[in-house]
């Protein structure tokens, strides 16, 4: 009797061990071993370094793949080929030698993850009226009637690549993060913009700024940068001075930071929306983007050319 009991217990133990090993084999490696981020000398998660956030994944999901949030390997390869072909034919700021090498981020069809359809929410009626008035004003003027008719990028004042929020473009998708106990510096290669983010809980100021007024804090291992007080001159996809931006930087492994941002503006969109993209560690150097603020020489040439064309058409 005792022998049969020991045999039964032995078989039961063996079954438990086998089941445990099978379960372990089916569990992803990432969940088996939780990665621990490095720490600064004063104990904060260390995000320092140069990070590349280039990707082919568009901000909004294209209509032709409206029902897919992730592509198959074959679909992703075809999309990347088509993407490069379109850029060769339509991107005239710089040639392919200048472009960052990019791919789809995890084969996703959009950076926007909320709303689930991968697209920005509808504009509010107020924002639609603003957009219509702006379009009408542009129709009544030439694209280069004055300096202020030229876009912020043309005047080297602000680029979407640098943000905030940061969005990938064809080149200069590098950002350097520098930390001290009191501040985090976010330094973008594009147009060499820099944000100095206080981490000491101080209140916001009252001055509206092109890149807003940022404050930072830690939520676990995630750096949260909360920004308000944007200038209405720096509209982000239809926003105005009511824009509220929350960015989250989470180092998920040695070479990757997950960058997430959520924007809300009750005068622009019917709801807030969120996008996510990876930032990869790079050993490359940061270079000055030598675009003089105001882009004086180029702007003067654009305006002179426009006046010359007007004179020619009047003859």
Q: Is 256 exposed, middle or buried (0-12, 13-18, 19+ CB in 10 A)?
A: middle
- Token readout for 97 is 């030698």
What are the backbone angles phi and psi of residue 37, rounded to the nearest 5°? -70, 150
% residues pLDDT > 70 (the chain): 86
Q: Which of 160, 164, 276, 163 is nearest to 222 (CA)?
A: 276
**Residues 246-274 pLDDT 10s:** 999 999 999 999 999 999 999 999 999 99
Mean pLDDT is highest, among 92-101, 247-256, 293-302, for: 247-256
- Token readout for 41 is 């000398």
Q: What pLDDT does residue 90 have? A: 62
pLDDT of 45 higher than 90: yes
Could you tell me the CA-to-CA distances from 295 to 87, 95, 143, 188 in Å, in that order? 24, 20, 16, 18
Segment (H or E) for 262: strand 256-264
- Between 154 and 61, whose confidence is greater? 61
pTM for the full predicted model: 0.83
**Residues 23-39 pLDDT 10s:** 444 434 444 467 899 99
Contact 173/100 with Cβ under 8 angstroms?
Answer: yes
Q: What pLDDT does residue 153 have? A: 85
Query: Computed from CA positions of residues 69, 73, 75, 78, in that sequence, does the dihedral angle turn out positive or negative?
Result: positive
**Residues 163-192 pLDDT 10s:** 999 999 888 899 999 999 999 999 999 888
- Token readout for 102 is 């990019």
pLDDT of 99 higher than 80: no
Secondary structure class of 240 (helix, strand, coil): coil
Q: pLDDT grade, residue 80 (50/70/90)? A: confident
pLDDT of 294 higher than 70: yes
């Amino acid at each position: 009797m005792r022998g049969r009991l020991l045999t039964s217990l032995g078989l039961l133990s063996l079954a438990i061990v086998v089941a445990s090993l099978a379960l372990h084999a089916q569990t992803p490696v990432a969940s088996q071993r939780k990665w621990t981020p490095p720490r600064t000398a004063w104990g904060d998660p260390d995000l320092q370094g140069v990070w590349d956030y280039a990707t082919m994944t568009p901000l909004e999901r294209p209509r032709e793949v409206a029902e897919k949030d992730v592509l198959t390997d074959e679909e992703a390869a075809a999309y990347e080929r088509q993407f490069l072909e379109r850029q060769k034919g339509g991107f005239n700021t710089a040639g392919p030698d200048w472009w960052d090498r990019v791919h789809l981020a995890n084969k996703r069809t959009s950076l926007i993850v909320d709303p689930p359809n991968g697209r920005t929410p509808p504009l509010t009626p107020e924002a639609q009226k603003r957009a219509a008035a702006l379009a009408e004003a542009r129709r009544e003027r030439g694209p280069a009637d004055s300096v202020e008719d030229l876009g912020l990028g043309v005047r080297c004042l602000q680029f979407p690549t640098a943000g905030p929020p940061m969005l990938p473009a064809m080149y200069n998708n590098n950002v350097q993060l520098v930390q001290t106990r009191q501040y985090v510096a976010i330094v973008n290669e594009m147009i060499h913009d820099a944000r100095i983010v206080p981490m000491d809980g101080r209140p916001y100021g009252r001055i509206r700024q092109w890149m807003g007024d940022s404050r930072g804090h830690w939520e676990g291992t995630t750096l949260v940068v909360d920004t308000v007080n944007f200038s209405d001159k720096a509209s982000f996809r239809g926003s105005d001075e009511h824009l509220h931006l929350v960015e989250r930087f989470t180092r998920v492994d040695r070479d990757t930071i997950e960058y997430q941002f959520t924007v809300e503006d009750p005068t622009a969109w019917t709801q807030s929306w969120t996008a996510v993209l990876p930032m990869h560690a790079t050993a490359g150097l940061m270079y000055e983007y030598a675009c003089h603020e105001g882009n004086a020489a180029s702007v003067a040439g654009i305006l002179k050319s426009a006046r010359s064309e007007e004179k020619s058409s009047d003859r």
